[in-house]
């Protein structure tokens, strides 16, 4: 009887140690996913952003660069600093701590286009989490996009806290789900929701209010001061 109890106690002890080890490994994975990937992504995004600004400073007027990064997104309400925006929304792009504009399933317009929807995506958790605080955006909040020679100032007019990840209508040139029915110059921000999942999409729509030419000091619009 004593030997049987000893064996049972030994099995329970081993099982308990396995549970503890599993818990530690899961905890380390969470730390890696939600913290360390942010550190690495932010470093890479800063490096890429510096390269874009260096290129701007060293070159004269020219066509919009759609390879290395077309500009920087500034959203004061999200308190996420400046976010480099690149072409495409594949993970190998977004995982570097940047935002990307859609090339499919609905191709994004560019801010300089006379009409269309400048539609963007970024991670909400991990890999820089540039859209982590998207839920803080309210109607009237500013979304500012900076290119080499122009500031584009948008104002939020509608949010959609949850929709299917397969709902591509939110990216349409005229985003009718936002309440707009005619052509305009729109911006759409998309990311995963709820936090720490990728089950649904959170969407914010804005509309261009004005543009400002970039001066020699790159003085930002009033919304960013």
Where in the sequence numbering do the catalytic residues fall? 192
Structure tokens at 21: 């080890």
Structure tokens at 101: 């504009």
Number of Cβ within a 10 Å radius of residue 41 = 21
Query: How far is residue 204 from each of residues 31, 52, 60, 115, 121, measured CA to CA in Å?
Result: 29, 26, 34, 18, 11
Structure tokens at 171: 């990216």
Radius of gyration of the chain (CA): 22
């Amino acid at each position: 009887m004593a030997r049987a109890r000893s064996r049972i106690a030994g099995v329970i002890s081993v099982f308990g140690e396995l549970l503890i080890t599993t818990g530690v490994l899961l905890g380390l994975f969470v730390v890696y996913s939600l913290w360390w990937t942010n550190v690495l992504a932010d470093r890479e995004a800063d490096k890429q952003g510096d390269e874009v600004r260096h290129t701007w400073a060293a070159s004269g007027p020219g066509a919009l660069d759609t390879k290395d990064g077309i500009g920087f997104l500034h959203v004061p309400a999200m308190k996420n600093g400046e976010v480099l925006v690149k072409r495409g929304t594949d993970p190998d792009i977004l995982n570097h701590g940047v935002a990307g504009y859609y090339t499919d399933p609905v191709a994004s317009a560019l801010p300089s286009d006379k009409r269309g929807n400048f539609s963007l995506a970024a991670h909400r958790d991990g890999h820089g989490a540039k859209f982590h605080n998207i839920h803080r955006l309210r109607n009237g909040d500013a979304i500012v996009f900076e290119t080499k020679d122009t500031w584009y100032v948008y104002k939020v007019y509608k949010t959609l806290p949850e929709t299917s990840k397969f709902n591509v209508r939110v990216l349409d040139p005229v985003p009718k789900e936002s309440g707009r029915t005619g052509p305009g110059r729109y911006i759409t921000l998309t990311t995963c929701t709820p936090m720490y999942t990728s089950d649904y999409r959170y969407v914010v729509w804005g509309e261009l209010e004005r543009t400002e030419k970039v001066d020699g000091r790159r003085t930002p619009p009033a919304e960013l001061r």
